[in-house]
Structures are given as C-alpha cells and as structure tokens.
Amino acid sequence: MAIQWFPGHMHKAGLEMKKILPQMDLIIEVLDARLPYSSSNPMLAAIRGDKPCLKVLNKADLADPQLTEIWQQYLEQEQGIRTLVLSANETTRGKELIAMCQKLVPHKASSVKKIQALIMGIPNVGKSTLINALAGRQIAKTGNEPAVTKVQQRIIVDDVVVLHDTPGVLWPNLENHDSGYRLAITHAIKETAFENHDIALYAVKYLMQQYPQALFSRFHVDDITDHEQTMLEKMAQKRGCIKAGGVADIERISKILLTELRNGQLGRLTLETPEMTEREWLQVIQRREEKAAKKAARKNKR
C-alpha cells in the first residue's frame, strides 16, 4: 500500500522554503527520534548546498536510547551536520540549541547581526512545541495532529537567532513505502490517508522482530511465532476486543495498538535503523531503474 498525503499548503510551503533559503545562515531540522530517516525531508538534502544544518532528534524520550546514539553518529558523518537530542517535554535546553547554532555559524556569533535560521520539520515532530519553548511564550500553535502550522512565521530568540518557521512539509511521492508506514505509525500522516489495520499489521511485524518483549508485557500474548495477523487477533482477545460471534475486532485493536505505541506505553522504541534505511534506499533505486527501463521499452516499441 502506497500512502499519499500532500495538502495544498505543503506544496506552497516547499516553494517558499526554496525561495528564502539563500537568505538563511543555517537550517534547523526537527526530526522524530523514533524515525530519523523517514521524518527527514529529502528535499532538504537536494537544496541545502553547503549550509550548516542542526538536526534535532526530538521526542527522544519515546525512542530507544541506544539507537538514538547510533543515529547521531550516522547523521554526523555528513559534512556540516550536527545533532541535538531533545525530549518532547524538555523546555530547558533552549540555550544549548542557541549555542550550537552559534558554533555552526561562528562568523555571525561574533557579529551584531542576528543568525537567520530556517526551522523545518515534517508534521507532528514537535516543531511548534520546540519553538514555543525557545521563545518562552506561546507563538506557534501546537497539537497532536499533522499539519497544524499552515503559514510561515518569524520568531526572534534571545536577541541572537531569528527563526523562520515553515509549515510541516511532507513530500508528494513517498517512494520508500516503508517510510510511509512508519510515518503513519507515529501519526505524521493523517488517518484519512491509510487503513488502521494495514498500519497495525506493519507495526506488529516490526515489533515481533525487534521488540518482542513490548508485545509480551503490554498485551500478555503467549508467544510471537505467529503471523502478524494472527498476533493481532491474539492481542484483540487479550484486550477483550471481540465482536458478535466471538470474532476479533481488528479495527478496534489496531487503534489501541497505534495509540499506545504513539504514547510510549509499549516502552521506548525506535522504528528504523541506518542499516534498514540503506537497504530500503537501494530498493527504491532499483524500482526507479526498473520503471525507467519499462518506460524506455514502451517508447522503443512505438
């Protein structure tokens, strides 16, 4: 299943982002620490050039701490990239973020001119909450719904940095289908774009492989050797999600699983590793090549 969700204001925001980027000193990209690859906008890599970039791994209190460290090391291999780990409820580390901005733009740090920073992030990564914490007041609208921010904003922080806030921008074509599923799991994509059952099956399969103990302790299932559909049915039985005739209520248990996973009730989980995403990217390239070959073959037949 390919997930497509690209509201009109996101297209406009993408164009505006390209327009103002030349005026920026650096970029702050807010990521979900549970999926640092899938929550990163590939548009940024294409247009960033040599501008320094601070990648904030937000919601780290929901992520696997060991994998967060691995992701930091992986991301910082790229020239001009630095990372900062934050929890969703951390509001006291704003000065550390500002200090990192100054280190990334040393010529501006010693100048009277303010650092111009583009702050960006896909929907529901906690960007607006972070902006409010930095500003020390309610500026950006927050909410546990994708695409809350709809217009660009300009915020001065500590008379040092000017944040240029953009709406959360996804990309129109999620070539990596696995990323689409993972974004849906964390609610970066609205539920109208997917079926809860499909996303829950994907989540269960991953948890069975990577975090079986999370299923044991939260849903009290006996074993995890079954197919993900069978596992979901067992979970429904354990939670009393039963319809008439003793049939498992799959939609209900799917919603319960996704809600509890998003809230951290299954423990600290990270939904992807660098190795996984590199394999997936090779598959994307292969699909591109196959698609191009088919297109060329059709053209030659004419």
- Write the CATH number for 229: 1.10.1580.10
User: Does the pLDDT value for residue 18 go beyond 50?
Assistant: yes
User: What is the average pLDDT across 47-52?
Assistant: 88
Q: What is the structure's pLDDT at 242? A: 96
Is 217 inside a domain boundary?
Answer: yes
- Give Cβ neighbours of residue 275 (< 8 Å, ≥ 6 apart): none
Which DSSP symbol is given to 23? Answer: G
Higher pLDDT, 49 or 242: 242
Cα–Cα nearest to 57, from 43, 71, 44, 46? 71
Residue 153 and residue 201 in one domain: no
Distance from the Cα of residue 51 to its chain's centroid: 22
Is 71 inside a domain boundary?
Answer: yes
| Beta bridge pairs of residue 233 | none
Is 184 inside a domain boundary?
Answer: no
Residue 161 and residue 204 in one domain: no
Structural domain for 223, as ranges: 195-271
Calculate the alpha carbon distances from 222 to 3, 230, 231 in Å. 33, 12, 10
Residue 122 and residue 55 in one domain: yes
Phi-psi region of 126 (alpha: psi -120 to 50; beta: other; left: phi over 0): left
User: What is the average pLDDT across 121-129?
Assistant: 86
Q: What is the structure's pLDDT at 5? A: 44
Residue 112 and residue 74 in one domain: yes
Calculate the alpha carbon distances from 28 to 90, 158, 200 in Å. 17, 16, 32
Backbone angles phi, psi at 177, to 5 degrees: -65, -30
What's the mean per-residue pLDDT of the chain? Answer: 86
Q: pLDDT by residue (tens digit) across 138-176?
A: 665 555 544 444 556 888 888 889 999 877 666 555 788
